[in-house]
Amino acid sequence: MNASLKEALAVTRLPTQVDRDRAPLGHVQTSMTADLLAPKRPPRRRHPKMLPEGAKDELRGVMNTARDEMVL
């Protein structure tokens, strides 16, 4: 076994609340192994509050009901 790789991957982290909820004895956990090879999650994107420039004109062409026009 590659000892240097084993040492580099032996990293611990603090457990999150989700980790504690999943584990059978999560309330007594003080540390967890960190998976350094796991893909990073992208940051959450929120929907913009306003439409981009020119979107209203394009949407008006596909509106079918008066309710859709009112929302726009």
Q: What is the pLDDT of residues 43-62, one digit of tens each?
A: 777 777 777 788 888 888 88
58 is a domain residue = no
Separation CA 44–CA 10 (nearest Å): 29
Query: Is residue 27 domain-resident?
Result: yes
> To the nearest whole percent, how much of the chain has pLDDT over 90?
0
Whether residue 60 is contained in a domain is answered as no
Q: Do the domain assignments include residue 28?
A: yes
Q: Is 21 part of any domain?
A: yes
* pTM (predicted TM-score): 0.41
In a domain, 15, yes or no: yes
- In a domain, residue 4? The reply is yes
Neighbours of 32 (CB within 10 A): 15
| Number of separate domains in the chain | 1
Which stretches within 1-72 are classed as H helix?
A: 3-9, 17-22, 55-60, 66-71
pLDDT, residue 1, reads 67
Determine the structural domain holding residue 25 and report its residue range. Answer: 1-37
Three-class SS of residue 12? Answer: strand
Residue 25 tokens read as: 């004895």
